[in-house]
Amino acid sequence: MTLPSQLTLEVVTPDRSLVSQLVDEVQIPGAEGYFGVLPGHTPLLVTMNVGELWYRNGQQRSFLSIALGFAEVLPDRVTILAKVAECAEDIDVERAQLARQRAEERLTQRAVDSDGERARLSLLRSRTRLQVASQSLR
């Protein structure tokens, strides 16, 4: 059996498609940790955490912020069904900074605001967005 030389990457959210193209490699923010996928990878279905996803074409890497969802890996295809996702260049940095500030304030006032888990996830999303946006400026 010949190994595929590239992967077809699809990244979708419930309301839009963000990526649909051939790539050389993908890194996925799996719930159990980040993992890399090259063509010919063993089939896999995993849940995703909040984190950075990147894909590579030659030397060129592109970055996305991902918040939860599923990833299906096949030898020649990776399908990302994200609950929420943005490409690095579409991230509104000011909005993410304000969201991070709000989440940090909610976490420090946890005694009065009992929804600490929501604040923790919001903080993680905003930090990830800021990290991903900074990658696109490199």
> Could you give the residue ranges of the DSSP H alpha helices within the chain?
93-108, 116-136
Answer yes or no whether residue 129 interacts with ligand ATP by CB under 6 A: yes
- Answer yes or no whether residue 52 interacts with ligand ATP by CB under 6 A: no
CB of 10 to ligand ATP, least distance (A): 17
The answer to the question of residue 122 lying near ligand ATP (CB under 6 A) is yes
Residue 125 interacts with ligand ATP (CB under 6 A): yes or no: yes
Rounded Cα distance, 111 and 106, in Å? 9
Smallest distance from ligand ATP to CB 92, Å: 4
The interface region with ligand ATP, picked from 26-34, 52-60, 73-81, 89-97 by CB under 6 A, is 89-97
**Between 41 and 100, whose beta carbon lies closer to ligand ATP?**
100
C-alpha distances (whole Å) from 94 to each of 41, 45, 91, 126 are: 38, 34, 9, 10
Close Cβ partners of 66 (under 8 Å, ≥ 6 residues apart): 29, 48, 50, 51, 52, 53, 80, 82, 84, 85, 128
Q: Which is nearer to ligand ATP, 77 or 120 (CB)?
A: 120
* Residue 84 in contact with ligand ATP, rule: CB under 6 A: yes
User: Which of 102, 69, 89 lies closest to 134 in space, CA to CA?
Assistant: 89
- When asked if residue 110 is in the footprint of ligand ATP (CB under 6 A), the reply is no
Q: Contact positions toward ligand ATP, by CB under 6 A?
A: 67, 84, 86, 90-92, 95-96, 99, 122, 125, 129
